């Protein structure tokens, strides 16, 4: 079942600006992960945040998790043209699988 | 680095043909997954395997089967390809079942004519 939903579906920003993407999910989770996909390629894992964490950083990435609202956000600071890609959240609950959202297409204009 | 490879990047088949998509991982991962990805629908899990010769259905197993005879290899089989199986197929592996990180192959774009 499709549990995660990203918002917005598409985002276009100028190089140097920050990009924020949101994800909502429906059931309780063990963790939430964010992945990136360049056009026509496989997904690459970016960051994982556990259900007992509220915020996590990795380089220019900042992820927050609000379990009371069943939502997460991914912030990319000082974006670059190379950040242009689709970004997916994936939630992990009691089932032995990840449930992916439909993704946010980010375009960073030079 | 974990490497997940898929046998073809692009594949064109005809309706009714039997299609094999192969996936190999080199990190001794226990778990392997097959997804299909369609515009607006995100990734949908077809089948996964948590051990050799073990398999479990995902969300959309109809029209597909899988085989895992060796730990490193997970095959997706379309017994009789149909046009609605035209899609991007992604294989992934992980050390443990979710909630572990999954490592993806580059994908196979399958077109069924």
Contact between chains at B98 and A30 (C-beta distance less than 8 A): yes
Shortest Cα distance from A109 to chain B (angstroms)? 23
pLDDT of residue A94: 66
Distance of CA B49 to the CA centre of its chain: 10
Closest B-chain CA to A51: B99
The string over B36-52, giving b where at least 16 C-beta atoms fall within 10 Å of a residue's C-beta and e elsewhere, is: bbeeeebbbbbbbbbee
Mean pLDDT of B5-19: 96
Least Cα distance to B47 among B37, B36, B61 occurs for B61
| Tens digits of residue pLDDT in A14-71 | 999 999 999 999 888 889 999 999 998 899 999 999 999 999 999 999 999 999 999 9
Shortest Cα distance from A80 to chain B (angstroms)? 23
Which chain B residues are Cβ-neighbours of A41 within 8 angstroms? Answer: 106-107
Least Cα distance to B90 among B69, B101, B76, B111 occurs for B76
Shortest Cα distance from A87 to chain B (angstroms)? 10
Distance of CA B86 to the CA centre of its chain: 14
Please state whether beta strands A43-50 and A19-24 pair in parallel, antiparallel, or not at all (unpaired).
Answer: unpaired
**A16 and A78 Cβ atoms separated by less than 8 Å:** yes
* Confidence grade of residue A1 (pLDDT, cut at 50, 70, 90): very low
* Confidence grade of residue A2 (pLDDT, cut at 50, 70, 90): very low
């Amino acid at each position: 079942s499709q549990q995660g939903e990203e918002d917005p579906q598409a985002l276009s920003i100028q190089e140097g600006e920050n990009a924020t993407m949101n994800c909502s999910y429906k059931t309780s989770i063990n963790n939430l992960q964010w992945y990136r996909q360049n056009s026509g390629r496989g997904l690459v894992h970016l960051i994982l945040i556990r259900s007992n964490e509220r915020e996590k950083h990795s380089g220019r990435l900042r992820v927050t998790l609000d379990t009371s609202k069943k939502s997460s956000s991914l912030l990319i600071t000082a974006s670059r043209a190379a950040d242009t890609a689709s970004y997916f959240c994936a939630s992990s609950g009691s089932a032995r699988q990840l449930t992916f959202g439909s993704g946010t297409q980010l375009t960073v204009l030079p | 680095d974990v490497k997940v490879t898929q046998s073809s990047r692009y594949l064109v088949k005809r309706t009714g043909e039997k299609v094999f998509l192969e996936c190999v991982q080199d990190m001794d991962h226990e778990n392997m997954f097959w997804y299909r990805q369609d515009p607006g629908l995100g990734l949908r899990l077809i089948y996964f395997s948590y051990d050799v010769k073990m398999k479990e259905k995902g969300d959309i197993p109809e029209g597909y089967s899988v085989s895992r005879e060796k730990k490193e290899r997970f095959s997706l089989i379309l017994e009789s390809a149909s046009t609605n199986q035209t899609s991007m197929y992604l294989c992934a592996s992980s050390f443990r079942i979710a909630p572990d990180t999954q490592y993806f192959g580059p994908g196979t774009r399958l077109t069924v004519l």
